[in-house]
Chains A and B, each alone.
Chain A
Amino acid sequence: MAERSIDRAALFLLKKAAREGVETAWDRFEKQQPQCGFGQLGICCRNCNMGPCRIDPFGDGPQEGVCGATADTIAARNLLRMIAAGAAAHSDHGRDIITTVYAAACGEAQGYEIKDEEKLRALASEYGISWEGRSKEEVARELARAVMEEFGMVKGSVQFVKRAPEKRRAVWEKAGVLPRGIDREIVESMHRTHMGVDNDYVNLVLHGVRTSLSDGWGGSMVATEFSDVLFGTPQPVRGKSNLGVLKEDQVNIVLHGHEPTLSEMIALAAKDEELLALAREKGATGINVCGMCCTGNELLMRHGIPVAGNFLQQELAVITGAVEAMVVDIQCIMPALTKVAQCYHTKIISTSPKARFADALHIQFEEHNALEIAKKIVRVAVENFPNRKPSLVQIPEEEVEYVAGFSVEAILKALGGSLDPLLDAIKTGKIKGIVGIVGCNNPKHTHDHGHLNLTRELIKNDVLVVETGCAAIACAKAGLLLPEAAAEAGPGLRAVCESLEIPPVLHMGSCVDISRILVVAAAVANALGVDISDLPVAGAAPEWMSEKAVSIGTYVVGSGIFTVLGTVPPILGSKNLVELLTKGAQEVLGAVFAVEEDPFKAAILILDHLTAKRKALGLD
């Protein structure tokens, strides 16, 4: 394999890790080579105990499992289970947020309040809940109950589906993929993939689309909207990124995972005078709270809190030897962290009852006394400061500024209150199109190489890029989230960015915040009176690895947006399934997947797609 990363801070710490004999994901990836061919092709089935069964990919061995399932059935069932797991992760995150909204509105969540009343009003009216003569808490309680009901369901289809253009809803109705309830589709996915239920790969994929839509226009959108209600809707904010944000003379706390709920309180607790005094007593000059992955994104979107890095940098943060505590909640937290931490003084503190780790310190988060728990966690970190081993401390110097916080509301504000300037720029061709680049890191590719090269190629060609998740952190570290990065954009996009004083790459939040991108796409389509699938837009996940990314990719295609995957999904063992997802879906959904591992070639695929869509709309 080529270089492990193009991030100098990462390379610096990988060398340190090698010197100190500490293994990272890259080493473990090498030890896993070669990886199982049946797994890579998606043609092993463990869904019943007559198996496990495998299909011979080259045709001279068994072509059916014990039950008679073919490669098509097995690969499609496996794909559906990946979608279901991804949708479950996002949607359960959404459930926790709405539960906290309810508790806050009942006065049972210490430290939480309804911060964005304007958003609460807008959401209440969307749900047909009257505001007249009632307190915001009363309204929030009724709204939260109505949203909670969407998980089990009730009334036809998920509420936020109505945000999609009418033409798109018609597509969904015709295909039979309107999501009927957030949990329901996930449960049905598990039912259908049980032995002897759904065996038709087309029918399985259609339900995969429905399940993913219950995530994108359901669980994820709930997570985004109600995080805004609780913690405020993001507005442009400056901050710093990469491992250089760790401070040698301060207590460093890294908040890693996905939820904003506890981390907001820890950010607050770190300003507590008593704890700051304790930190000084222990020899530190302050308490430095940093984010990592999507917990980091949630914090930087709202507060400009420094972000230490993306997915593949979690172990590297510990390897600096300068992290007193890494506080984790849920999702994308490597179980290896506790083992790496044993080589340093870092305490890995787990906080969710859903996600426990061998050898971690568990301090369980409870919303009714969240601030107390947050203070307890910060205290553990502060008290750990004297345990640092100075000989093992090496913090890379890389520290790059970013501007984040581009919620839909913030984008509208930057445009002067209406979409018109953006629509005009698209119509005149100053902006060729809009592309969402999202997703993880994956040691199968050089870290950040896919994200940065695809982003650069697109902005160079006058494509406005919107990002979330680890892709956005990659661009933050490369300085692409600064208005000054407009200098790297083509002349059309550059002019637009300079006049609006925005970066050419807009950070829209965490991975659940891809729902914000859907809202923008729907708004643009509605303004032009077309379907989302008619727009010059595309999606890309250059370095994806998680099941959540599979759900995301599917709801993005399901929403009518051409999507390019940068790592090969485990479906190639079924030619029919590949054909359906890369060609057949066009007729049903107006969009397809493509797979291209080379970001430069992916850029060409996307630019060609945008050109074709512009032509069909009569632009150019």
Chain B
Amino acid sequence: MELKGGAGVKEVFIDISRCVGCKSCEIACAVAHSESRSLFGAIAEKVPPRKRIFVHAVDSSKVPINCRHCEEARCVAVCPTGAMFRDEQSGTILHDPERCLGCGFCEIACPFGVITRLPERKIVAKCDRCPDRQVPACVEACPTNALLYLTPQDAQKVKRQRVVAQFVAS
């Protein structure tokens, strides 16, 4: 089996140093998962759309956190109905609302706490990395580039280049 993050598959990376805690990603995520897909439409919907990314603060640092789409996804392992599953092609962990019991085992299993509830539908929901968009809504909404949409290889390369530049400068 090919690991996720094969050539060309992008993931959402976080540059904590750039997050200002504006929560634009949270709103964009909720809107992207609304019926109308527009802010002014979403605000009027009977069942409010839910975000799947969360900005938390620790001391003066702000950190956006969402599903890491784990290789060994515990949420998938514990799901009794197969509602939580891996989509091999995109390398994402997806969730089928039709099969979800709302048992909450995935919430217990997730080490990051990024599975949310849809109380009105009595099921859970999570990041699907916006499959019908070129770039996930949270990344697009981030005004400071704290969220990046890169292949893991490129994400590491960016860091290596930064370190190398520092070496050279010193």
Residues of A within 8 A of B (CB): 34, 36-38, 40-41, 54, 56-61, 568, 572-573
Contact = CB atoms under 8 A, between A and B. Distances in A.
B27 A60 contact: no
Interface residues of B, number: 21
Tell which of A37, A40, A54, A568 has the most Cβ of chain B within 10 Å. A37
B48 A58 contact: yes
Contact of B27 (A37, A59, A568, A572): A37
Given A36-B22, A57-B43, A60-B116, 7 more contacts: A56-B26, A57-B27, A58-B48, A58-B51, A60-B51, A61-B26, A572-B40
A292 B49 CA distance: 45
A40 B39 contact: yes
Contact of A36 (B24, B30, B49): B24
A34 B140 contact: yes
Nearest to B50: A60
29 contacts: A34-B141, A36-B22, A36-B24, A37-B24, A37-B27, A37-B28, A37-B39, A38-B23, A40-B40, A41-B39, A41-B43, A54-B23, A57-B30, A57-B42, A57-B43, A57-B48, A58-B27, A58-B30, A58-B42, A58-B48, A58-B50, A58-B51, A59-B48, A60-B51, A60-B116, A61-B26, A572-B40, A572-B44, A573-B43
A601 to B, nearest CB: 15
Nearest to B42: A58
Nearest to B34: A58
B48 A37 contact: no
Contacts of B106: none
Interface in B28-47: 28, 30-31, 39-40, 42-44
Nearest 6 pairs of A and B residues by beta carbon: A37-B27, A58-B48, A58-B30, A59-B48, A34-B141, A572-B43
A38 B27 contact: yes
Interface of B: 22-24, 26-28, 30-31, 39-40, 42-44, 48-51, 116, 140-141, 143
Contacts of B23: 38, 54
Contacts of B50: 58, 60
A54 B20 CA distance: 14
A581 B26 CA distance: 28
A572 B43 CA distance: 7
Contacts of B51: 58, 60
A57 B23 CA distance: 12
Nearest to B49: A58
B75 to A, nearest CB: 20
A58 B42 CA distance: 8
A482 B35 CA distance: 47
Contacts of A37: 24, 27-28, 31, 39
Nearest to A60: B50
B114 to A, nearest CB: 13
Nearest to B28: A34
Nearest to B39: A37
A379 B116 CA distance: 68
A21 B28 CA distance: 31
A407 to B, nearest CB: 39
Nearest to B29: A58
B24 A34 contact: yes
Contacts of A36: 22, 24, 143
A34 B143 CA distance: 8
Contacts of B44: 572
Tell which of A38, A57, A568 has the most Cβ of chain B within 10 Å. A57
Contacts of A34: 24, 28, 140-141
Contacts of A54: 23
A59 B118 CA distance: 12
Contacts of B31: 37
Contacts of A573: 43
A37 B49 CA distance: 14
A482 to B, nearest CB: 38
Contacts of A568: 40
Contacts of B40: 40, 568, 572
Contacts of A60: 48, 50-51, 116
A572 B143 CA distance: 22
A57 B24 CA distance: 12
A36 B31 CA distance: 12
A547 to B, nearest CB: 20
A60 to B, nearest CB: 6
A144 B39 CA distance: 49
A50 to B, nearest CB: 15
A51 to B, nearest CB: 12
A60 B51 CA distance: 9
Contacts of B43: 41, 57-58, 572-573
A6 B43 CA distance: 31
Nearest to A37: B27
Nearest to A31: B143
Contacts of A41: 39, 43
Contacts of B26: 56, 61
